[in-house]
A and B are shown apart, each in its own frame.
Chain A
Amino acid sequence: MLAAIGATTLEDLFSQLPPEVRLKRPLAIAPGQSEYEIVDYFRRRGEENANGYASFLGAGVYQHYRPVLVDTIVSRGEFLTSYTPYQAEIAQGTLTTIFEFQTMICQLTGMEVANASMYDGSTAVPEAAMMAMRITGRDRVVAARTVHPEYREVLQTYAQHQGMPVVESSYAPDSGALDFADLESKLDDQTAAVVIQSPNFFGIVEDVRRAAELAHRRGALLIVVFSEAVSLGILEPPRDADIVAGELQSFAISPVYGGPFAGVIATKEKFMRQLPGRLVGETKDTRGNRAFCLTLATREQHIRREKATSNICTNQALIALMATVFMTVYGKLGLRELAEQNLAKAHYLAGKLPLRFSGPFFNEFVASTNGRSPDEINETLLGKKIIGGLALGRFYPELGNTMLLCATEMSRRQELDAVGEVFAQ
């Protein structure tokens, strides 16, 4: 090959690099290792993490069983090692599954259109807010304090240079749900969007319709966020929202210490052209057969550059495929039964603990620690190989003696009972 290109050494290929930019020593990285050594290295790292613990952590990342079919499908090289389906003729596999994904997200959320995925729930929120700014021509955003605290931090990061003030509205101290009087007082004629989450960060199911009425009365859009997608198996979908921004981690996506996950934005058909990210549409090929392709690319950065709806390019296709396979395996009946199991487990556990809030909840809730510190309870639980709840003082100073606990279909009754006993001590 060198002869064919008229070079004598591989080094010749770099002769155009000015000498002063060349690295004049080897990289300080140890020599390459064998496959066995690599597997062994990561196995050991895995053993240094929690192993064999039951966990009651939720707070945006949920432990749900991953059907075997999910990894079977996403491990197929045709899905794993292809890229964004720019060449529709040889990417119908990916395009078709994305079209199905978009459809199922609409069916779940009650929206009319959904994009092909976002990085995650936390980044879907500011993207939805910027979308609302473009639609309404307004700039202010009111976000409920019961939206995931880290999602709100990401919203602040994105908002700061968009000329987008973000105002927070509080929750009702008894129910843990939206404080509608406070929300109403925060709205004005410059409000582009109200952002709420349901179930909210405390696990409580919000009154979406009432929030929509308040927002719409002032000409603002309602953005409904979800982080526990399994809840949509049983909850009335947020049909009154204008934009739904969600996290799909619950759909067979391993927690992996926080990612990769897949977010999604769904909305009404009339707002479709303001969606960020990839979108797959149906069309025909020259033989008249149904086919799919990326569409409405004129919204996107590679065409519109600085005038694009977002800078997003790569999204989370393979992770969205995990969610698609999950939704297929469970299907209409299974997702409902799964949601019912989560509801039952969480309510069984809640029956043993002092609840901080009175609002209706799905599979997580806030428990009071009755004067004891959450850390002390969690220490005791760790001794029983149980990772307890998330101490909420970290995000809500006024909730110092509380913790957020989550139970799913993977929580066993004896573990639920054990948590109850530690609280009762």
Chain B
Amino acid sequence: MIRKVRQHINQNEPLLFERSSPGKGGYQLPALDVPAVDAAAVLGRDKTRTEIEDFPEVSEVEAIRHFTRLSTHNYAIDLGLYPLGSCTMKYNPRVNEQVARIEGLAWAHPYQPETLAQGILEVMGTLEKMLAEITGMDAVSLQPAAGAHGEFTGILMIRALLESRGNPRKRLLIPDSAHGTNPATATMAGYAVENIKSNDCGMVDLEALARSMDEDVAALMITNPNTLGVFEQNITRIAELLHAKGALVYMDGANMNALVGVARPGDFGVDVMHLNLHKTFSTPHGGGGPGSGPVAVKKPLAPFLPKPTLQKSDGRWSWNYDRPQSIGRVRAYYGNVGMHIRALAYILAHGGDGLRNATLDAVLNATYIRKLVEPYYDLPHTAATMHECVFSDERQAKRGVRTGDIAKRLIDYGFHPYTVSFPLIVRGAMMIEPTETESKAELDLFIDALISIAKEVDEDPETVLKAPHHTRTSRVDEVAAARRPIVRWRNERVPSNRSRTAGSGG
């Protein structure tokens, strides 16, 4: 039975371009207090445009209705459980949003004098210190803009360290359960990828790893807990294997929400890792970014951190550009500082104990879902669950219903689906990460929904195959979208003024 939602009226909304009428706008500019300048005269007629063809023309009211109506076509954490595995969709505290908009912080220019930027540098320096404590690493750079960007930064540092020892080496070992960003990153950093098989428990196969180890291996990119939500129990042994051959251990910190306050990568052999502030540290996902992907390293890698690095002496913060071994910049300025502010607010609000409690609750919630859903869906890897659990659609697939169909049916029950078909090592994967945010009541509704859908698959598979039924948009034809891509709106009418503007490049 569907208990969480019922249907309600929801406004239609055309595209902005279809709403436009000539002459409308929602802006007000102050009166110009200096003489106007003729653009064509100072820039040259051939370098100026007469208009931005087909650009929107709507009033302020039309604009706010447009975006508000569209917003109601979205599901969001603010509406309920959003159990996308590996994405850590936790509550985004609003105090974070408020403090990130404080004028002295929000309007700080990256080139303003350091003497007039001590407040923001103190925020960044404090965050670096806390992330080092949480990860057990020695130094942190906040420069990378997202998780994948942090991976890239980390692997470049590994390459630079190995190069300084005489040989950058050729290959990165990556478990077959890894995020797609890992192999893509390896390629961008000039390394070949060798996949390492997982064993039956869903962990890195030590023997396979040992067989692959030689002096051409630069590093292992490991996610811990891995994408099955399983802690790599042999992690210290794995690190020893790598280190014995002069190779390094990179940890993808996407799943750090399972470890904060309980275990530290720096204590189990990791040399360099990234964190996703938009996962573990609650900065909003924003419909797909911005993220922030700080990197944390052990001492030997510190000289290679992106430049500039932050330093404090005599009570004053400053940027240090004198970093001869640095891999260089991975981004202009100093990173997604607005996200650093939010992440620090999250850490301050929780404190050390609160952070650890969040980890315990996240693991409790995932384990609870696993236990109650296990009788109804296949669980291919039975090792203890940490922050997420991964089921398979194997049982339902026998009746022609796949993970993607079950996901769509969950929408009818009022939930965002889990992560579909990932990790790749599980057939028909259903990857569920509830986070610590959810109450037992919300989890129970979700569990009931999954159980109810399992029954529907047995009794009435068509209902599941054609889901969602209750949404304003029914199942979307993604195949057609890819076959004939339409990636922008075009004006089907021939504008009356096109001939007039054609000559002047309007």
User: Can you give 29 contacting A-B residue pairs, CB < 8 Å?
Assistant: A5-B370, A5-B371, A14-B262, A26-B353, A29-B133, A33-B348, A49-B119, A51-B103, A78-B79, A80-B286, A81-B285, A84-B285, A84-B288, A89-B408, A89-B475, A99-B15, A119-B145, A120-B332, A160-B328, A255-B109, A260-B339, A281-B481, A281-B485, A289-B473, A301-B183, A308-B180, A310-B188, A330-B27, A332-B25
The CA-CA distance from A412 to B339 in the complex, in Å, is 31
Q: Say whether A121 faces chain B, with CB atoms less than 8 Å apart.
A: yes
- A28 CB contacts on chain B under 8 angstroms: 133, 352
Q: Say whether A117 faces chain B, with CB atoms less than 8 Å apart.
A: yes
- B77 CB contacts on chain A under 8 angstroms: 77, 81-82
**In whole Å, how far is B268's beta carbon from the nearest beta carbon of chain A?**
4
The contact of A257 among B91, B105, B267, B289, by CB within 8 Å, is: B105
The CA-CA distance from A21 to B48 in the complex, in Å, is 63
**Interface 9-residue window, one of B146-154, B394-402, B453-461:** B146-154
Contact call A286/B475, Cβ cutoff below 8 A:
yes
Contact call B74/A161, Cβ cutoff below 8 A:
no
Q: Say whether B204 faces chain A, with CB atoms less than 8 Å apart.
A: no
Please report which residues of chain B, range 172-190, place their CB below 8 angstroms from some CB of chain A when the two chains form the complex: 179-181, 183-190
Contact call B63/A328, Cβ cutoff below 8 A:
yes
Q: Mark B320-362, 1 if CB is under 8 A from A, else 0.
A: 0000000111111111111101000101111111111000100
**In whole Å, how far is B170's beta carbon from the nearest beta carbon of chain A?**
12
Q: Say whether B1 faces chain A, with CB atoms less than 8 Å apart.
A: no
Closest to B149 in A: A119
Tell which of B60, B66, B119 has the most Cβ of chain A within 10 Å. Answer: B119
Interface size on A, residues (CB 8 A): 194
The contact of B472 among A18, A92, A113, A308, by CB within 8 Å, is: A92
The CA-CA distance from A15 to B290 in the complex, in Å, is 35
Contact call B290/A316, Cβ cutoff below 8 A:
yes
Contact call A256/B486, Cβ cutoff below 8 A:
no
The contact of A150 among B46, B67, B79, B329, by CB within 8 Å, is: B329
The CA-CA distance from A344 to B481 in the complex, in Å, is 45
Q: Say whether B492 faces chain A, with CB atoms less than 8 Å apart.
A: no
- A7 CB contacts on chain B under 8 angstroms: 367
Q: Say whether B108 faces chain A, with CB atoms less than 8 Å apart.
A: yes
Contact call B39/A308, Cβ cutoff below 8 A:
no
Contact call B56/A29, Cβ cutoff below 8 A:
no
The CA-CA distance from A303 to B17 in the complex, in Å, is 33
Please report which residues of chain B, range 5-24, place their CB below 8 angstroms from some CB of chain A when the two chains form the complex: 13, 15-17, 20, 23-24
Q: A32-B350, A318-B286 are in contact. Are A45 and B105 (CB under 8 A)?
A: yes
Q: Say whether B273 faces chain A, with CB atoms less than 8 Å apart.
A: no
Contact call A154/B347, Cβ cutoff below 8 A:
no
Contact call B477/A284, Cβ cutoff below 8 A:
yes
**Interface 9-residue window, one of A134-142, A183-191, A272-280, A366-374:** A272-280
Contact call B43/A235, Cβ cutoff below 8 A:
yes
Contact call A336/B184, Cβ cutoff below 8 A:
no
Q: A312-B148, A317-B288 are in contact. Are A255 and B47 (CB under 8 A)?
A: no
**In whole Å, how far is A378's beta carbon from the nearest beta carbon of chain B?**
8
Contact call B57/A332, Cβ cutoff below 8 A:
yes
The contact of A315 among B130, B289, B480, by CB within 8 Å, is: B289
Q: A283-B480, A317-B288 are in contact. Are A254 and B107 (CB under 8 A)?
A: yes
